[in-house]
Structure 1
Amino acid sequence: MAEVFEFKLPDLGEGLTEAQIVHWMVEVGDVVAVDQPVVEVETAKAMVEVPCPYGGVVTARFGEEGGSLPVGAPLITVAVGADADGVAAGSGASGAAGDTVNGTAVADAEGSGNVLVGYGTSAPPARRRRVPPSAPVRARPQSQPAAQPAFQPQAPQDPAPRRAPGGAQAPGARVNGTASPARAAGITSGAGPGAAPAQDGPVPVISPLVRRLARDNGLDLREITGSGPEGLILRADVEYALRAAASREQAREPRAAASAPRTADGPVTTAAGDTTRIPLRGLLGAAADKFTRSRSEIPDATCWVDADATELLNARAAMNAGSGPKISLIALLARICVAALARFPELNATVDTAAREIVRFEDVHIGFAAQTRRGLVVPVVRDAHRRNAESLSAEFARLTESARSGGLRPAELTGSTFTLNNYGVFGVDGSTPILNHPEAAMLGVGRITPKPWVHQGELAVRHVTQLSLTFDHRVCDGGTAGGFLRHVADCVEQPAVLLRSL
């Protein structure tokens, strides 16, 4: 006899209270294995896949793609047992009130017990099977009726909307009762005549967000030719298809629509110009909240200095001349910051506003700003004061790659005590950034570019950069901040100064 277990959205750690559903990886009626990822969610910290601790048949899903669920809310229900194949998909039945992933319920279901994000077996998931929705669901006996869930499960409807393989809605499908934009434009794809024919198997896309963008606009990814490596579909490919659809739609509209008046309720979407509303949620919303809190709570100030980085570049070239691991420039800058914080520990601190105390940290955890497709993230190099240049280079490289692929864990995005912001990669010289709340200081590094410079009493062309320090004026005065920045500049200009702290 099959028993139905309810799997709730687990505690994602680091104080996170909710997550946005980006992409469901299973459907009602699918057979899942223990620790198989069932949904991809986006939190305020990262995008992660949530594994299910049960193996069986999915009987219900809770929450729509694009919607949010609080931690502890029902996520899916799974029928577990010898005759689980006879369970009807989409019945909406859930287990007893005690059928949670805590306590002995996991052991009873022969699940893994790994309910935290990032845990689970490394074995590939079992082949998905669809169970016909014919047999009744047999849940385990209950002494009291289970509480009604706050979120209604998604059950198959008859007739069900057509969906393209890979989760994208098929062309011509209706969204919320209206035809999709692609259908309204009279196209099935924006790829044009050169589009690749539909093929079986998964569609290669660069990220789930691209898949969602196509699905929300009714584009069939199988009819779009990807411009990435090996036909990988990029976001630009989907956006090009959408622009093509919009162009065809505008060609059908009367030209009078271009001069349509705007009403008092807001802008009217016309051919002359559209308005776009972007929800401030997930990573974007978390960054907005953090910026606002930092600017409203921290009385920051900024000082800066120009530094000749020629000798630092020469030192790095000498380090990388051998056959060992290569040393990155940001790793050398991080090592300089560690040495400066050892001399000026006031800046490796935060302010406890509730207790009205300055809290200084013994360990140095350096965050660094990284630009990704999802926006700005700040991965953290932990225990930077215990690492040499090689170890720092390796960790910066690992975290940067994880940030670009969206695989950073929440723990890798929190706990920094000082931030290094290399905005020179954007081709700018200076900046007055907002502090990464609740830190007390951030070092900014501008681009390193050849400039005329007085060197040893003579005018010469040297590689010059601008260094800036933004600091919380509550933790120190200008003299301390200036001393820190001057020490950093001295190490940049004369790397041998670092030998005193090694």
Structure 2
Amino acid sequence: MPKVLEFKLPDLGEGLTEAEIIRWLVEVGDVVAIDQPVVEVETAKAMVEVPCPYGGVVTARFGEEGTELPVGSPLLTVAVGSAEGDLPDDLSGKGTDGAESSGNVLVGYGTGAPAARRRRVRPEAISAAAAPVAGPAPPPVTAPAPGPVPAPVPDEASGPVAVVSPLVRRLARQHDLDLRQLTGSGHDGLILRADVESAIRVAANGTAVAPSVPVPVSPPASRPAPASAPVAAERIPLRGVRGAVADKLARSRREIPDATCWVDADATELMAARAAMNGAGGPTAGPKVSVLALLARICTAALARFPELNSMVDLEAREIVRLPAVHLGFAAQTERGLVVPVVRDAQSRNAESIGAEIGRLTEAARTGTLTPTELTGGTFTLNNYGVFGVDGSTPIINHPEAAMLGVGRIVPKPWVHRGELAVRQVVQLSLTFDHRVCDGGTAGGFLRYVADCVEQPALMLRTL
């Protein structure tokens, strides 16, 4: 006899206590394999797929898309050990030793098993499952109803929608838009927020079209025009990524006595060095080295000279903890908000290696597939706000780190070079630091070394 096992939302780690259902990957009646992803959820850290540790037939799902669930609440139920012939051996939930689950419920890091193709089983196989799991559980939102089995939906209509942003999904739900009817303008047909807003405008204009034969109607002269109703203020919940960022920034501002120093630097030689690196080797050369990768390498060299800034403060012990490795975070703006992916052990990487890892993490941030590990554990942050066309900033430190280097745009400016006025590529660098870990002399020394490397990249040859 088969039995029904309940799979609950697992502990997501990093202190996360809830997640929002973004997209179900299985339907009731589907046959799932052990460790097959069954639902896509968004936490305050990342968007991840949750694998089910059981193999069998999905009998119920709990929670609609867009619903927030706390850790430990039911996600779905699976009938395992169905009658002979109902399930193939590799999907029955039992291995060669008779085990019914893998125990792998850790999200964000993936499992080794590939996702199995979705299969359906006979309705009578589902009804033959054992009694429900003991204990209260909320009613399933998609439990199979008795009666005739509906005709199968074509793959084109039931496939995944090309959307990665939960903000886009929420906006479409609020305006009753079917995302499957939209054509995305993003990469590989990705539906962007602009596509949804455009569809909303078209729908609004369509409902407000004037009749073909206009009939002018004037209000009576003695009756004043009705006053327009006041527009209610929009309320946006601080949750998910936006909520996590808000909490972290508020804590940083409360706990860290920060200060900022800045300097203008002539980046002409750095840009020339980058052009030489990317021009060497011809078509067979490796990937291009970005300006951000060069600045990241300069940061690791500077932190080797000024380790005070690669530290954090233990408030309970009243100690400054200097960290042996540089896990370099870099700010990345995405449709889901600001995220800070982390390049692990950046002190042991060269500019090319750092650049490759930045590229990989940036693509993962764009698609919303960063794992919690890739978003936590940073020890120093590099913030390139120059991409927004601004010169300077006084950013808030990424708690519990001790410092952040900000980089403005690199633009041609008049500059005194070798005693003469010339047009040079100039950038403003700013360092925001925790005044508890060091004084202004250390912070100024760090920033000056960074500026010197930007102006004379050959200085780094001593540490390469």
> More deviation in 449-458 or 1-10?
1-10
Count of matched residue positions in the alignment of Structure 1 and Structure 2: 439
Within 2, Cα distance between the matches of 1:66 and 1:473? 42
Q: State the AA in 1 paired with 2:71.
A: V
Counterpart Cα distance in 2 of 1:33 and 1:493: 57
Asked whether the equivalents of residues 106 and 113 of structure 1 are also in contact (C-alpha less than 8 Å), the reply is no
Distance 1:397-1:261 versus aligned 2 partners, 3 A rule: same
Higher relative contact order (CA 8 A, sep 6+): 2
Query: For 1:395, what is the secondary structure of its paired residue?
Result: helix
Change (3 A) 1:83 1:259: farther
Return the alpha-carbon distance in structure 2 between the equivalents of residues 258 and 425 of structure 1: 48
Q: Distance in 1 between matches of 2:38 and 2:333?
A: 28
Q: CA deviation at 1:138?
A: 3.4
Partners in 2 of 1:48 and 1:107 — Cα distance?
30
Task: Give yes or no for contact 1:443–1:468 (8 Å, CA) kept in 2.
Answer: yes
User: TM-score, normalising length from structure 2?
Assistant: 0.86
Q: Give the secondary-structure state (helix, strand or coil) at the position aligned to 1:153.
A: coil
Q: Counterpart in 1 of 2:228?
A: 260
Match of residue 19 from structure 1:
19
In structure 2, what is the equivalent of residue 475 of structure 1? 437
Check conservation: 1:6, 1:74, Cα contact below 8 A: yes
Return the TM-score normalized by structure 1: 0.80
Which stretches in structure 2 are left out of the alignment for 5+ residues? 88-92, 211-216
CA deviations 1:207-255 (Å, max 9, x no partner) are 2634554345332334334434665543322221122223344569x99
Instruction: Please say if residues 63 and 152 of structure 1, whose CA atoms lie closer than 8 Å, have aligned partners that are also in contact.
Output: no
Structure-2 residue corresponding to 1:304: 262
User: Hey, what does 2:90 align to over in structure 1?
Assistant: none
Deviation at 1:338? 1.0
Give the Å deviation of 1:329. 1.2
User: Deviations along 1:331-381, whole A, 9 cap, x unmatched?
Assistant: 111111111111111111111112211111111110000011101100000
Q: In 2, are the aligned partners of 1:61 and 1:75 still within 8 Å (CA)? A: yes
Identity of aligned pairs, percent? 67
Q: What is the CA distance between 1:501 and its match in structure 2?
A: 2.3
AA at the equivalent of 2:134: A
Q: Which residue of 2 aligns with 1:176?
A: none
Instruction: Check conservation: 2:82, 2:125, Cα contact below 8 A.
Output: no
* Structure 1 portions without partners, runs of 5+: 88-100, 168-197, 269-274
Determine if contact 1:203/1:221 at 8 Å carries over to the other structure.
no
What is the alpha-carbon root mean square deviation over aligned residues? 3.2
Higher mean displacement: 4-13 or 378-387:
4-13
Mapping 1:318-467, distance limit 5 Å: 318-323=276-281, 324-325=285-286, 326-467=288-429
CA contact (8 A) 1:55 1:111 kept: yes
- CA distance in structure 2 between the partners assigned to 1:452 and 1:472 by the alignment: 33
Partner of 2:35: 35
For the 8 Å contact 2:18–2:69, the answer to whether it is kept is yes
Aligned partners of 2:335 and 2:165: how far apart in 1? 12
Greater CA drift, 415-424 or 237-246:
237-246
State the alpha-carbon separation in 1 of the partners of residues 48 and 225 from structure 2.
43
1:114 corresponds to: 104
Instruction: Name the aligned partner's letter for residue 154 of structure 1.
Output: V
Are positions 1:153 and 2:155 aligned together? no
Measure how far apart 1:110 and its partner are.
3.4
For the residues of structure 2 that align with 1:494 and 1:47, how far apart are their CA atoms?
A: 41
1:394-443 per-residue CA deviation (whole Å, 9 max, x = no partner) reads 11111111111111110000111000001111111000001101111000
| Residue correspondence of structure 1 range 219-238 to structure 2 within 5 A | 219-228=177-186, 231-238=189-196
Partners of 1:61 and 1:201 in 2: how far apart? Answer: 17
Partner of 1:76: 76
